[in-house]
Amino acid sequence: MTKLLTKGLATLGALAIAGMMTAPATQAGEAEIALLTSYIGDWRGEGRLSGGNRGEPFRCRLNINKGNQARINYAGRCSLVDMNLSVSGTIAYNDQTRRYEAAMSSNAGFTGMAMGRQQGDRISFDLREQQRDRAGSDVRIGSRILLDGEAITVDFEVEFNNSGEVLTASVPFRK
């Protein structure tokens, strides 16, 4: 069961935080740059991986810094009992599409991109993908990343199509 939880956390974390990466941005306005840079800093969060026969607690940290042009770069790590997951990526505002975009990659072999929706000072990224894990099994991945003022929240879900097993987690981050 620990193997399934480990595999699930790697899949979840990689694609959940994946919602926070982007393609190159064009010239963004001052308001968009100010909103992005308000998230620069060191963030920490804790969550519980639920599903399977039992849940497992885990801890995450996320470092966000200023990137080139109107971007922020991030690097994150989550620790479970017997594994670590690393992700990195970029978030930017694209003037052509008038949207925030995020792109990511992980040490679990997953990459992803998501478009952000802005409502006031909140930006949310939703990622829904069908991929294969390292063992070649089909998985359905869903994640939502919410940048909201003084908080970042990452919610994610992975369904292993072969078994029907569903793993979920929510991680609230604070500076």
Q: Which domain holds residue 138?
A: 2-174
CATH number of the domain within which 103 lies: 2.40.128.20
State pTM to two decimals: 0.76
Taking only the tens place, the pLDDT of each residue in 83-109 is: 787 888 899 998 888 899 998 887 766
* Structural contact between residues 38 and 32, judged by C-beta atoms closer than 8 angstroms: no
Percent of the chain at pLDDT exceeding 70: 79
Domains in the chain: how many in total?
Answer: 1
Closest CA to 62 of 50, 44, 79, 37: 44
